[in-house]
């Protein structure tokens, strides 16, 4: 059986095709179509189980009701969690999310922006990688709604939602110092991007404020694309060469999880004499014995703010006379002692 068309609905409702089109596109009130006609047409739409052609509809309205989400690595627990929250909140507001990972590769990031452009997404949510600045500026020039998150681009006047990463590691390091720790190792990833840099600076400042000298021997950078074997070897070397370490602060939760596996391998116990803190919570840390203290990012609030900012952008996108108000939102992390 041939699917019903807009023409079939118009014919049965005894109205014009244009009237049906306005109702389908949510412009009925704007075009002063009576409530009686709207109800009549909607009843026939349900009766025919009519599904509008999204491609044709996007050509008519200029909207695809989709948002492009570009993250560093969708398999990373932090990005997976926030992508899920964003997807839920966007869907409730009538938008679908299409997402992909850059793997911290600027070439891939640029290609993804172009791919989403070809798909005519209505807006972008981007965790930017170094080297994507020109593409961000071009999106802003074209007045395409855009929010960046997780990391900031200080030289570009763009909407952002970020967490105070400096304060996150500062309060975590201070907690360890207050509990008597003096040789606190810092394990991080070799990405010199805004949020990772600030996590180190918060750790360094807490040491400085408490009269503890930074020890480069217990500072370790793990390559972003490191294999599990190489990561394990590097962490084992850190603990074997520096038996004086009495605490470790991991700058990401995936590094902390790898660290826990290494500590188990070398039979290093987490107790009053040796502590672990992870940046970003994870179920593993709640279930571990003993449970692991964390710097918890407000993922729910981040997702809510990102969608709110983007919807405001989408609402004003077609008004070229309105001066664009840039939203700069910095949220506070929470230290969870376990």
Mean pLDDT score, 151-179: 93
Confidence of residue 64 (pLDDT cuts 50, 70, 90): confident
Residue 61 has pLDDT above 60, yes or no: no
Whether residue 71 lies inside any domain: the answer is yes
Whether residue 1 lies inside any domain: the answer is no
Q: Phi, psi at residue 85, to the nearest 5°?
A: -65, -45
Residue 60 has pLDDT above 60, yes or no: no
CA 277 from chain centre, in angstroms, equals 22
- Which range in 57-66, 139-148, 203-212 is most confidently predicted, on average pLDDT? 203-212
Are 262 and 183 part of one and the same domain?
yes
Confidence of residue 19 (pLDDT cuts 50, 70, 90): confident
Mean pLDDT score, 35-51: 85
Whether residue 188 lies inside any domain: the answer is yes
Structure confidence at residue 48 (pLDDT):
81
SS3 of residue 200 by DSSP: helix
Whether residue 70 lies inside any domain: the answer is yes
Structure confidence at residue 54 (pLDDT):
47
* Residue 180, token pair as written in the block: 């008597």
Q: Which domain holds residue 100?
A: 66-163+300-333
Are 77 and 31 part of one and the same domain?
no
Structure confidence at residue 56 (pLDDT):
47
Residue 23 has pLDDT above 50, yes or no: yes
Interior angle at CA 224, CA 163 and CA 176, nearest 5:
50
pLDDT, tens only, 228-279? 899 999 999 999 999 999 999 999 998 999 999 999 998 888 988 999 999 9
Structure confidence at residue 55 (pLDDT):
41
Are 225 and 312 part of one and the same domain?
no
pLDDT, tens only, 274-333? 999 999 898 899 888 899 999 999 999 999 999 989 888 887 765 555 566 788 999 999
What does the alpha-carbon distance between residue 108 and residue 129 come to, in Å, rounded to a whole number? 10
Structure confidence at residue 20 (pLDDT):
84
Structure confidence at residue 323 (pLDDT):
63
Q: Percentage of the chain surpassing pLDDT 70? A: 93
Are 192 and 263 part of one and the same domain?
yes
Structure confidence at residue 52 (pLDDT):
61
Average pLDDT taken over every residue of the chain: 87
Are 37 and 86 part of one and the same domain?
no
Q: How many domains does the chain have?
A: 3
Are 120 and 213 part of one and the same domain?
no
- Which range in 45-49, 84-88, 247-251 is most confidently predicted, on average pLDDT? 247-251
Structure confidence at residue 57 (pLDDT):
47
Are 319 and 264 part of one and the same domain?
no
Whether residue 85 lies inside any domain: the answer is yes
What does the alpha-carbon distance between residue 193 and residue 176 come to, in Å, rounded to a whole number? 25
Comparing CA positions, the residue from 137, 82, 71 lying closest to residue 105 is 71
Structure confidence at residue 51 (pLDDT):
67
Are 181 and 273 part of one and the same domain?
yes
Confidence of residue 181 (pLDDT cuts 50, 70, 90): very high
Confidence of residue 205 (pLDDT cuts 50, 70, 90): very high
């Amino acid at each position: 059986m041939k699917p019903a068309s807009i023409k079939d609905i118009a014919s049965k409702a005894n109205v014009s095709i244009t009237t049906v089109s306005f109702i389908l596109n949510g412009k009925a009130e704007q075009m002063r179509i009576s409530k009686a006609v709207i109800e009549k047409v909607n009843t026939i739409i349900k009766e025919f189980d009519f599904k509008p052609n999204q491609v044709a509809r996007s050509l008519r309205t200029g909207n695809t009701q989709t948002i492009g989400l570009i993250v560093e690595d969708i398999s990373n627990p932090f990005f997976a969690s926030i992508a899920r929250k964003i997807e839920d909140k966007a869907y409730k507001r009538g938008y679908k999310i299409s997402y992909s990972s850059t793997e911290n590769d600027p070439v891939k990031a640029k290609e993804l922006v172009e791919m989403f452009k070809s798909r005519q997404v209505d807006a972008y949510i981007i965790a930017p990688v170094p080297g994507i600045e020109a593409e961000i500026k071009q999106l802003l020039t074209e007045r395409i709604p855009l929010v960046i998150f997780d990391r900031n681009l200080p030289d570009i006047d763009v909407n952002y939602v970020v967490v105070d990463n400096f304060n996150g590691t500062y309060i975590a390091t201070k907690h360890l110092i207050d509990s008597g720790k003096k040789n606190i190792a810092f394990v991080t990833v070799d990405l010199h991007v805004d949020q990772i840099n600030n996590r180190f600076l918060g750790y360094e400042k807490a040491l400085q404020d408490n009269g503890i000298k930074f020890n480069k021997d217990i500072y370790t950078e793990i390559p972003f694309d490191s294999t599990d074997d190489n990561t394990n070897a590097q962490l084992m070397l850190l603990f074997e060469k520096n038996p004086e370490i009495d605490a470790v602060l991991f700058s990401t939760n995936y590094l902390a999880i790898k660290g826990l596996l290494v500590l188990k391998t070398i039979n290093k116990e987490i107790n009053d004499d040796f502590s672990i803190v992870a940046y970003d919570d994870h179920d593993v840390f709640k279930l571990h014995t003993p449970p692991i203290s964390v710097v918890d990012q407000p993922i729910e609030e981040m997702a809510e703010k990102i969608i709110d900012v983007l919807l405001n952008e989408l609402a004003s996108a077609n008004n070229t006379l309105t001066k664009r108000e840039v939203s700069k939102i910095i949220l506070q992390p929470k230290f969870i002692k376990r």
